[in-house]
Chains A and B, each alone.
Chain A
Amino acid sequence: NAGVTQTPKFQVLKTGQSMTLQCAQDMNHNSMYWYRQDPGMGLRLIYYSASEGTTDKGEVPNGYNVSRLNKREFSLRLESAAPSQTSVYFCASRVGSSYNEQFFGPGTRLTVL
């Protein structure tokens, strides 16, 4: 049981390049989330998916797109990376309405030059 996994761990992009961050969970959770963590800002929600086939915007969705590919996988795409998107990105998952805990992946450190 690996929990929540994220790939890659580190990535450096040039401004304007695109990439997809991958996230997968093996806990049969319904809900999945993407956050970004910036110094002094805590974690801010980018997008979330309450169930397979649904996605919703969080606090800071601009510049990102997401895909809930199936129940296990939730990807985050940067179509045209900008230096302001330099951050650490965390994926999380949660069972659903009966339990409140979110389980987090190890993070992806992204630098946009």
Chain B
Amino acid sequence: GNSVTQMEGPVTLSEEAFLTINCTYTATGYPSLFWYVQYPGEGLQLLLKATKADDKGSNKGFEATYRKETTSFHLEKGSVQVSDSAVYFCALRTQGGSEKLVFGKGTKLTVNP
């Protein structure tokens, strides 16, 4: 079946540190891939997405590249800020018009000043 595996958290960084959150997936065909972010006390917001192999999604300094050969979609940011503290979810939507998203378990990031 379809699944998403994210690195276990929590992750704690100092401000301006480099961030990587690993995400790998299992799916048939060519899924669309997403990163969602959940700030404390709020719902999820789409952070970035990629719909085909080698696409790079980017937003707010975050980037992720759809790697078909390694079935990965790792999230990176060169210099994190305190305001980036949140829970990050990797997700996939399978090809063929499926209505459903499959989420990873989430990775909590805390950035200290």
Contacts and interface: CB of A to CB of B under 8 A. Distances in A.
Count class of interface residues, chain B: 20 to 34
A100 B109 CA distance: 25
A50 B108 CA distance: 31
Contacts, number: 49
A20 B5 CA distance: 32
Given A42-B105, A100-B32, A100-B51, A90 B89 contact: no
Interface string B75-99: 0000000000000010001000101
Contacts of B106: 42
Contact of B46 (A4, A40, A101): A101
A104 interface: yes
11 contacts: A42-B89, A42-B104, A48-B100, A50-B99, A92-B44, A100-B32, A101-B34, A101-B46, A104-B43, A107-B42, A107-B43
A43 B99 contact: no
Interface of A: 4, 31, 33, 40-45, 48, 50, 56, 58, 90, 92, 94, 97, 100-107
B103 interface: yes
A57 to B, nearest CB: 11
